[in-house]
Amino acid sequence: MIVSQNSKDVIKIFQNIKDIPISTNLDDGNLNIFMCPINARKFDYNQISLVLVDSVIDYAISKKNITKYQNKPGRLSQMARKKFKECLNNTGELGELLLYCFLEGHLNAPKILTKMEMKTSNSLYVNGSDGVHLLNNGDGTYKLIFGESKLYKKLSDALNAAFNSINDFINENNPNG
């Protein structure tokens, strides 16, 4: 499995501020803190969108279809754009795309599946894990990563929502049916 170069390019524009172990057990993982690029004392969303656009196809389309249409970039672009909900009705797809880029670009954990790949209509929203990635531990073992993304104005609200969602996933509780 190969990690997308586009994801690595996205990560390059973010500043990795700190990696904090979650516990003394190294298997529990780390909290990786990144900061958006800044221009004129404001977050540079334009720079982020310029590099994110190159990752849209890798994120939204299965590797099988990317290979199938590799000589038809216009078709791939159209297929990827159709998967996204309309901008005004979008409640989390930007966060899911960023999550994909961080898991691939920072952890070198290639995607197995993203929620976006399973969508059959841009008006539908798929519940469950935002993405599944495979992390090579470097010692012959691997970890499956079930990604969860939340974008909120307040950090405390985002953390509460993310941990509630993770708890629901672990306990196989789907409040949406």
Residue 47 within any structural domain of the chain: yes
Residues of the chain with pLDDT under 70: 85-91, 119-128, 175-177
Residue 113 within any structural domain of the chain: yes
- The string of DSSP codes covering 99-157 is HHHHHHHTT---EEEEHHHH-S-TT----S-SEEEEEE-SSS-EEEEEE-----SSHHH
- Put the strands of the sheet holding 111-114 in their side by side order: 111-114, 131-136, 142-147
Give the CA count within 13 Å in the CB-facing half-sphere of 148: 15
Chain position carrying tokens 């990563």: 145
Residue 81 within any structural domain of the chain: yes
Give the number of domains in the chain: 1
Residue 177 within any structural domain of the chain: no
Give the CA count within 13 Å in the CB-facing half-sphere of 72: 10
Rounded Cα distance between 98 and 111, Å, is: 13
Residue 176 within any structural domain of the chain: no
Residue 115 within any structural domain of the chain: yes
Q: Is 18 within 8 Å of 69 (Cβ atoms)?
A: no
Residue 80 within any structural domain of the chain: yes
Domain boundaries, position 94: 5-170
Residue 78 within any structural domain of the chain: yes
What is the model's pLDDT at position 48?
Answer: 94
What is the model's pLDDT at position 128?
Answer: 65
Chain position carrying tokens 């516990």: 23
What is the model's pLDDT at position 119?
Answer: 66
Residue 130: C-alpha distances to residues 18, 60, 115 (Å): 24, 11, 5
